Structure 1
């Protein structure tokens, strides 16, 4: 009887385990709890924080190795997004970040990867996500 009970218990424990699910990063969990307006505020705050950090690095350390790395890996993307904000609403970027994190494969990715996705898809030609994806796949990214 103990043997049957232990087999029964083990099979139920096995059945309730999540099948190879990617763990969600804390930023994604936080992002998903925000309203659309709060997401816009968060995104603008993030962009401003990256800009301020870059300016502070320039003033404290000059154009050294750290400042160059920060520009290449964080600030350049943010400056590109700031340039696009003259033509595009912030809510469009929020929508693309939402789309990025809607994909199960990306729930463990950092926020700057979601921004890179948003920036590339916002600039890609096409009206639907499928058209944009097809144009990006064949290197046809061009402003609309």
Structure 2
């Protein structure tokens, strides 16, 4: 009986040892598992963070590229419109200069022709006046000579 008791007590001791080791091992396994899960989660978080950073950077670069290309397009549009407007302004300016020069030439021709007409009219009037003055002078000279002749005849000694 004593042997049975010893065997049972050893058996119980062994069971207790096995059970305690099993519990320790379970605890170790669970803590390692949690540690591994934590590390895995950290790795996942870090990898997602890096992916997100990459996505953000690529979107940022894409947006910068789009903004720069739109800016260049707008600059090109503005420059082409500016050149068109400059061309329009220059062509209108040339048209206006041509119109002004044409009108100046017309006015010059008109003034010159009027001046020539007026000179002709003035010369005609001067010639008429000279003719009138000359004929009156000749009439007056004739009258004066006739009167002188009459006076000589009248007052001549017989």
What is the TM-score with the length of structure 2 in the denominator? 0.21
Who wins on radius of gyration, i.e. which is larger? 2
TM-score, length-scaled by structure 1:
0.22
